[in-house]
């Protein structure tokens, strides 16, 4: 869908066309839920927050002028609503104590229990490390490596140039890898597997 089609879809939503609104919800629901989930780490909270985001989108459709991709505009609204809730809680509560239920949606189903367990450990280490790095770095890593947004989408959502997005993402990955390495070394006494674990944290 190009910019003209997106603007036309929004116009139809503004006119109250139910079919157009269903199309918009179907197209962006997974993206919105993904953003909400990585701010809440709880399915029920993410579903509730997603509904709040869609209400916010509906109330602000008149503000969309088609000047940039609709997904970037939606992600920006989603992020602003999520960040309000995110900042009301301590970051330790958001990331440090991560349950298996929170990690499970990030894992692909595997027939190999050992591989599944390793990926689960990586995910928990990743969230733990995210709680200890600056917020502006953590959110870019979440949007890129967990939510899968393109650099341009992140830049538009956060109102940052591509170069800043890339530099912050590089720093975020380096900081997270360092935290993961330190935690793993403290627990295992340090092995070559540490580097593999850190490198695989973003898989």
Domain ranges within the chain, ordered by starting residue: 1-89, 99-203
**pLDDT, position 61:** 92
**Three-state secondary-structure class, residue 184:** helix
Report phi then psi at 20, rounded to 5.
-65, -40
Full DSSP string of 39-85 = HH--HHHHHHHHHHHHHHHHHTGGG--SSS-HHHHHHHHHHHHHHHH
Q: What is the CATH number of domain 99-203?
A: 1.10.10.10
The answer for residues whose C-beta is within 8 angstroms of residue 141's C-beta and 6 or more apart is: 130, 169, 172, 173, 176
For 143-200, the pLDDT digits (tens) are 888 777 788 878 877 788 999 999 999 999 899 888 888 877 776 654 444 444 444 5
Long-range contacts of 85-91 (CB under 8 A, 24+ apart): 85/39, 85/40, 85/49, 86/39, 91/131, 91/135
The pLDDT assigned to 69 comes to 87
Tell me which residue has tokens 């330790």.
92
pLDDT value at residue 37? 82
DSSP letter at 150 equals -
Residue ranges, the chain, pLDDT below 70 = 1, 3, 86-120, 187-203
Decide which of 3.30.450.20, 1.10.287.610, 2.60.120.380, 1.10.1740.10 is the CATH code for 1-89.
1.10.1740.10
From CA 198, how far away is CA 64, in angstroms rounded? 40
**Rounded CA separation 9/18 (Å):** 11
């Amino acid at each position: 869908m190009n910019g003209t089609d997106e603007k036309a879809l929004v116009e139809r939503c503004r006119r109250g066309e139910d079919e157009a609104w269903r199309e918009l919800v179907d197209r962006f629901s997974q993206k919105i839920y993904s953003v909400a989930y990585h701010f809440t780490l709880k399915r029920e909270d993410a579903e509730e927050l997603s509904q709040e985001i869609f209400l916010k989108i509906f109330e602000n459709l008149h503000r969309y002028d088609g000047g940039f991709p609709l997904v970037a505009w939606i992600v920006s609204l989603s992020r602003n609503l999520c960040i309000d809730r995110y900042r009301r809680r301590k970051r330790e509560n958001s990331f440090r104590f991560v349950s298996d239920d929170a990690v499970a949606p990030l894992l692909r189903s595997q027939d190999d229990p050992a591989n599944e367990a390793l990926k689960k450990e990586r995910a928990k280490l990743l969230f733990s490390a995210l709680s200890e790095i600056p917020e502006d770095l953590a959110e870019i890593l979440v949007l890129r490596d967990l939510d899968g947004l393109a650099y341009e989408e992140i830049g538009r959502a956060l109102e940052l140039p591509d170069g800043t997005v890339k530099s912050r993402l590089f720093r975020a990955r380096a900081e997270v890898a360092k935290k993961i390495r330190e935690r793993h070394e403290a627990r295992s006494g340090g092995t070559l597997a540490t580097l593999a674990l850190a490198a695989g944290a973003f898989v």
